[in-house]
Chains A and B, each alone.
Chain A
Amino acid sequence: MLKLIFRRLLQMLLIMAVVSFILFLVFDSDKFKKQIATAELGGFAVSTLSEEDYQKWLAKKGLDVPFHERYVKWVLDVLRGDFGQSFEKNTSVASLIGERLINTGILAFWVFALMIPLSLTLGVLAGMKEGSFQDRTLSFIAVFTTSIPEIATAIILTVILALGLGWLPTKSAMISGWDWKQLVLPVLTLVVYDFGYVARMTRASMAEVMTSQYIRTAVLKGIPYRRVIMKHALRNALIAPFTIIVLQLNWLLSGVVVVEVFFEYNGFGKLLLEAALFGDVYVIQAATLIAVFVAVLSQIISDVGYTFLNPRIRFS
């Protein structure tokens, strides 16, 4: 097990090195440097800039140094915990990302807090009696909500809850400080989009367990049906969904750009998009590292958890 984790971490470092190198390489082209200048100084200013002044600007930004030196320096800095400065926002990348990560973390927490109980309960109820009315109803809803794109869900919810009923604010930029009310719409959107997927996985897993021979044994042992479900079926049925849920972490970190942007929620995904549009190299680099890290971490958690939940593997 330890060996596996170790191997995963090594893989992670390798991926990080390769990806960051490629990103650096891409952003090192003259075209991109120009783009950064344009974004910062404005198109007109850049076009009138003399070559000498442009070089000075590059020097000020530290972009005149040859590529490999910059890369080495950046790597060394990162190892020391310094992620550099954002070109766009003129703050340290670390504090910028930290702040956004916390925002996304809060979002993810609430999505999980609602989605997990909801989808597990529904999935188990549906899978308990395969082909029953409750099963077919749930399967239909799950397919339905999952197949609507997030953006459409976001719009529909906004129109109904914010514009129509006026219960909630339409945007979640939180300009005048933290406001829980503004969190509701993004969370809802994500839950509606995601719960169907997890619920269907749970349903499939539960349905399979219910037809297994050990459930037959449990029923024919004459223990109450409730206990058959709670004690025998659930534990085995939840192993597969667990893995899937952990992998949703990854999606919540960088896969929800659309929702964050739509609601102007200052999360990690939105930061990533802004940085990409601006050409904010160091922000992109740091964000990428974090995304890779979370991806590998969720992989490890799901592997370890799977092993732990499954005695067949744990003690073999």
Chain B
Amino acid sequence: MSEQVPVLECRNLSVSYFVRAGEIPAVVDFTMKLMPGEAQGIVGESGCGKSTVALAIMNYMGRNGAIVGGQILFEGRDMRTMSDEELRQIRGSKIAMVYQEPMASLNPSMKIGDQLAEVPLFHEGVSEDEAKRRAREMLSNVRLPDPGRIMESYPHQISGGQQQRVVIAMALLSNPKLLLLDEPTTALDVTVEAGIVELIKEISSEFGTSMIYISHNLGLILETCDRITVMYSGEAVEVGDIHTVFNNMRHPYTRGLFNSIPVPGADKNARPLVAIRGQLPLPHERPKGCYFGPRCDYFEAGRCDAGHLPMEEVAPGSNHFVRCVRFAEIDWEALKPKPKEQEPIEPGDVVLRVENLTKHYEVEHTGLLFVSEKRTVKANEKISFRAREAETVAIVGESGCGKSTFAKVLMGLEEASAGRVQLGNLELSKLPVEARDGATISRLQMVFQNPFDTLNPSHTVGAQIARVIKKFGIEKDPERIRERVYELLDTVKLPRDFADRKPRQLSGGQKQRVGIARAFAGDPKMVIADEPVSALDVSVQAAVTGLLMDIQRENRTTLLFISHDLSVVRYLSDRIVVMYLGQIMEKGLTEEIFSPPYHPYTEALLSAVPIADTRVEKRKVVLTGELPSPTDPPKGCPFSTRCPYVIEGLCETTPPPVRSFSDSHTIACHLEEARLTAMEPVIKIDDDPAQAAE
């Protein structure tokens, strides 16, 4: 190995952005060595500089960015000394990139075939026909059905997953030495993501392409990479073989990251997540010495803040490096998360009854010239379930499954087409929000995905919470209102002086806390949380979910947790409702959902979720095909276009029967009960003795 020339080597690379306020270092002293055929993962939270590394390798820094130090060697040659023309010849032919947002990365007004053909046309000078032929061939290599049609399509005419396959095809057309993947699946649904990840793995083994895979998702990195670099605030803090880092991490930040993500085995009562305290420093607020210092439990004044820390090898020859002066002294076994056990909550009476809730939209669909046809979007079709007091019910599903529409109907932002929704003994399905009185509104509150959009930027945090309190008529006296605002800030663990701050002075996680404080201001019976943590970084997610759980426990609130993320859902919910294209596929207690019998869709969903745990073994179920459009769902079972078990002639035409497996567990599927029961578990945890002894 050591004799080989690395495909790419970054030596002490530093990148800065120059803005009016001065120089902002985005990446500092970054070193990395990528050998032929190797796949390296770079993980870190937003703002850690991982995408900047990719763009620096491509030498595409935008107008105000620049590489300010170090070297980038591609096959032994420093890219910083290359001319524009040399760079152009390498880009797209020897180094190719796949981007986070496939739709935005493709030219909207150029046919896909033309966009693809450009690569061989300009790098190899082949004829137009030959270029087109290769493009079509590559489209079928990335498993796109009907390449001929896709060649003639514009990007918006195909789905997100297909677009990403096109971008990958474009990157592979010149058979690159190095493939840079910058969050290639973040914008995609999880079952579509699984297909792309599968494809990427096949490519690397088939073509021997070296890869740099950038992601915030540790599970994905585990599935795709050989080595991993963990970045924090512009620096690499830990580098090593994937299994070494996952099992024997030697940097407190890496450890913190792993403790804050829900893996199977984590449980909100028995083994709660541990969040990293504090927040990521802004680039100009980085402390002297170790950037992680202020958040680290092992901080030692005089050593950790003495000056810039170098990377050190954990053991000679281990090829495992960390940037921490104390890694050798810390007792890593003792640092394993200390379970802060809590009693499970006893659910109370049924609070919410949803019966055959149906919501249809009419959309007018206008063709190019004449036809304007009316189509019905069946956003929710006969949804029925119940939620008890103090219980957490999760609604899971991918985009278009109707979970957000359901929340809107509950909140009174949309009117149901049919069916009933009862909160206590109040019928809500036909009661728009304007017709609800303050008491009703305060009893049913919502926490949104994007705290940024729901806070008024020109009012202080305190004023916004106070407004809600006044509106619900909880307190009248200004003095008492202030008291209550402070109490709520205490509840969401924000300092009291935050009451005088404006939303823009808060970080994402802090804003979400304010959002939660507002929702709980009126002592709600039930809170709907629509993807409340998916816009936040993992270390912050843990803190926010923990908070939500605590408040719920205290107030015995019913929590309706809407999410696409099965790991989070598994961690915190008592019961789960799985939706697909507006219909409930399966519902049951969390354990019932996560173990057989499965609905075929649930099975695929479980298999698709990447898990950041080396002990976990997953049975592979990769779906082909794309999510059908909700305007045009299949007639029978909505899942029939992608289902691996589909019974020809039956599933496509006849809606499936609902089969009960227990009081709480139902599956809507044509498969025989015996067949469903005989399914193998998807997730197996291979407990090695050391872990089990714990």
Contacts and interface: CB of A to CB of B under 8 A. Distances in A.
Interface string B79-112: 0000000001111110011010100111111100
Contacts of B104: 212-214
Interface in A129-173: 130-131
Interface size bracket, A side: 20 to 34
Contacts of A214: 104-108
Contact of A220 (B97, B101, B110, B123): B97
Contact of A224 (B122, B157, B167, B170): B122
Contact of A1 (B96, B122, B369): B369
A309 B91 CA distance: 30
A219 B107 CA distance: 12
Contacts of A225: 88
Contacts of B88: 222-225
B60 interface: yes
B63 A312 contact: no
B178 interface: no
Given A2-B369, A223-B122, A315-B368, A213 B92 contact: no
Given A217-B99, A314-B368, A222 B110 contact: no
Contacts of B366: 1, 3
B105 A223 contact: no
Contact of A2 (B93, B119, B370): B370
B246 interface: no
Given A214-B108, A217-B105, A309-B109, A227 B369 contact: no
Given A131-B63, A221-B119, A222-B123, A311 B156 contact: yes
A34 interface: no
Contacts of B107: 214, 217-218, 232, 236
B118 interface: yes
A213 B154 contact: no
A214 B103 CA distance: 9
Interface in B61-81: 63
A218 B89 CA distance: 13
Given A212-B104, A213-B101, A223 B109 contact: no
A130 B368 contact: no
Given A214-B106, A231-B110, A235-B110, A220 B122 contact: no
Interface in A186-228: 212-214, 216-225, 227
A220 B157 contact: no
B411 interface: no
Given A213-B104, A311-B109, A311-B154, A219 B122 contact: no
A220 to B, nearest CB: 5
Contact of B118 (A216, A221, A239, A311): A221
B125 to A, nearest CB: 12
Nearest to B85: A224
A55 interface: no
B179 interface: no
Contacts of A312: 108-109, 154, 156
Interface string B638-682: 000000000000000000000000000000000000000000000
A241 B149 CA distance: 32
Contacts of A310: 108-109
Contacts of B106: 214, 217
B2 interface: no
B58 interface: yes
B372 interface: yes
A238 B60 CA distance: 25
A316 interface: yes
Contacts of B157: 315
Contacts of A3: 366, 370, 372
Nearest to A1: B369
Nearest to B114: A231
Contacts of B90: 222
Given A218-B118, A224-B88, 8 more contacts: A2-B369, A212-B104, A214-B105, A219-B91, A220-B91, A220-B92, A222-B89, A223-B92
In the complex, the 8 A-B pairs of residues with the closest C-beta atoms, listed nearest first = A222-B92, A222-B91, A221-B92, A213-B104, A311-B154, A214-B107, A223-B122, A217-B105
16 contacts: A1-B369, A214-B106, A217-B107, A219-B60, A221-B92, A222-B88, A222-B90, A223-B119, A224-B122, A227-B118, A232-B110, A239-B109, A311-B108, A312-B156, A315-B154, A315-B368
